[in-house]
Amino acid sequence: MRIATWNVNSINARLETVVRWFEEAKPDVACLQEIKCVDEKFPAEAFERLGYNIAVHGQKTYNGVALLSKFPLEDVRKGLPNHPEHGGEDDEHARYIEAVIAGRRPVRVASIYLPNGNPVGTEKFAYKLAWMGRLKAHIQALLAYEEPLALLGDYNVIPEPRDAEFPNNWVEDALFQRESREAFRALKWMGLADAYLQADGAPGAYTFWDYQAGAWQRNNGIRIDHALLSPQAADLLTGVSIHRDVRSWDKPSDHVPLVIELDV
């Protein structure tokens, strides 16, 4: 089973590019982020003709996540649960969707669009950390099922200096703050494996290049799109690939697809 994650930076604005990639890469499951449309404006027909079942958690103009699968989608959940310590009662951001992919062996998959958090020192950064607290609590509950679990998406976290071409450029950014990185490590410490590090781990594997200042041309990239796997899913991991070339296509997203392969 090939499971992809891709922050498409507006599904309707880049539909031709996204459909082209789906036709060429043929993922079994895809986690999309930043679709930037409400559910009914998602271009479902373009993907249904390719054989995908679709679940969308959209939002007008901002955010939005989706799951596309060639297998049935079951037990769909939209949004994270509230948490007594980390809140969430008034959170209307569409940033999380999960479902059980009912293949030969079921796999629970989530599409995650974690808050950016900039500027540091504002309520946006506090929201980022609280959201990560809610995510951790929810993952802890999911891990109790002891099933293959794959949590893919744009985490908006640069885990280590090796995950940026020029780490000093990011020291003031929310993506590289100590608190953000500690919260990301806390997720992994629950027993989750970073799929890329497990399958490859070579430095310079970036998934995002800013549109400004020739970042793509200078390879001024960062690795912020991640796939975290439960022990049951990590045992099934057979490969990881970053589709770097997509960044050079017409009307690209500033992110590129990350694809993991599970032996299911």
Instruction: Establish whether 255 is a catalytic residue.
Output: yes
Catalytic-role residue among 113, 155, 196, 206: 113
Question: Using CA atoms, how far apart are residues 111 and 150, in angstroms rounded to an integer?
Answer: 9
Residue 78 forms beta bridges with which residues? 97
Q: The tokens 């604005």 sit on which residue?
A: 13
- Is 34 a known ligand-binding residue? yes
Return the exposure string of 20-56: e unless at least 16 CB atoms fall within 10 Å of the residue's CB, then b: ebbeebebbbbbbbbbbbebeebebebbeeeebbbbb
- Is 24 a known ligand-binding residue? no
Residue type, 142: L
- Is 255 a known ligand-binding residue? yes
SS3 content of the chain, % helix, strand, coil (to 5): 30, 25, 45
Catalytic-role residue among 91, 154, 173, 225: 154
Residue 47 contacts residue 12 (beta carbons within 8 Å): no
- Is 154 a known ligand-binding residue? yes
Instruction: Establish whether 206 is a catalytic residue.
Output: no
- Is 12 a known ligand-binding residue? no
Residues in binding site = 7, 34, 154, 156, 254-255
Residues in binding site for Mg(2+) = 7, 34, 154, 156, 254-255
Residues identified as active-site: 113, 154, 255
